[in-house]
Structure 1
Amino acid sequence: MKKIFSLMILCIGIFTFAQVKLPFTGHRSFDILKGYSGTGTPHYYLNVKKNGDVLFGYVQVNQANGKETTEEINAGKYAPNKVMKVQFKKYDETFFVKFDKNKILMTDEKGNIQNLEGCCSSTESIDKETCTCESELYE
């Protein structure tokens, strides 16, 4: 009886996991923190694998010498509305995000959307002190 019950629990768990619908698979770029021309701002991206793994990365080109710096990390499995921790080691940078099919949002650990000065474009910063930290996802 214990074996049958354990097998049923395992099957339910596998079935439940298999039901998570990915918003997309493949590479998408985003620009939450707005850079200004010539600053060498990193170009961020995420890559959703068919197995649900979510990879975050960036490419940054030093404007002075043309040297390219890259890093990619696995942030775990995708789950709808899940807050994902993105922790890059090279520049000791950590942030939290949520994303769907079209948009990515920078949040705090609890999922509250951030409003920061660094999220404003150069034209928005004239009119506002802070802006919503969000970006479209670009193919």
Structure 2
Amino acid sequence: MKKIFSLLIIGFSILSFAQSKVPFTGKRDFMIEQGASGTGTPSYYVDVKKNGDVYFGFVQINQANGEETKEEINAGKYNANVMKVYFKTYNETYYIKFDKEKIYLTDEKGNIKKSEDCCPVSEMDKGSCTCESALYE
């Protein structure tokens, strides 16, 4: 009985570790929402560490005066379902999920959002687009 219990615990441990395995390590840039602001569109990035910690950040350069605004936050351990990202600078909260190639803007439950803010200029007439971006090295 002890052996079966031990095997079950080991099995669940392996399964939970496999589900939380990070899709990549290192820094990737992305652009989910298309900006049209006069102060410059922020350049967002995700930085995944080997231990599973995930950092999100942005750099924004004011086009008028060259002033740089940036922030980086630790969003916790990688979660394939949804991660909460809160930037204090602009009091913005995002829910995001990502894999090896793409990143998605979601609701709190991990459902991918659609919005006109996510449409590239060439597709503005669509009304709403899937809020996703490729991840760029």
Residues 39 and 61, structure 2, Cα contact 8 Å, conserved in 1: no
Give, in angstroms, the shift of residue 97 of structure 1.
0.6
TM-score, structure 2 as length reference:
0.85
1:74 aligned partner: 74
- C-alpha distance in structure 1 between counterparts of 2:116 and 2:17, whole Å: 40
Q: Which amino acid aligns with 2:128?
A: T
Q: Which amino acid aligns with 2:135?
A: L
Residues 35 and 121, structure 1, Cα contact 8 Å, conserved in 2: no
Give 5+ residue unaligned stretches, structure 1: none
Q: Show CA shifts across 1:24-48 (max 9, x none).
A: 0000000000124855010000000
Give, in angstroms, the shift of residue 79 of structure 1.
2.8
User: Is residue 128 from structure 1 mapped to residue 118 from structure 2 by the alignment?
Assistant: no
Give 5+ residue unaligned stretches, structure 2: none
Q: Show CA shifts across 1:62-101 (max 9, x none).
A: 0110000000001110133x20001000100111011000
1:77-116 → structure 2 map (5 Å cutoff): 77-80=77-80, 82-116=81-115
Count, aligned residues: 131
1:54-65 → structure 2 map (5 Å cutoff): 54-65=54-65
- C-alpha distance in structure 1 between counterparts of 2:37 and 2:88, whole Å: 25
The percent identity for this pair of structures is 62
1:1-20 → structure 2 map (5 Å cutoff): 12=10, 18-19=17-18, 20=20
Residues 117 and 130, structure 1, Cα contact 8 Å, conserved in 2: yes
Residues 43 and 59, structure 2, Cα contact 8 Å, conserved in 1: yes
User: Is residue 46 from structure 1 mapped to residue 51 from structure 2 by the alignment?
Assistant: no
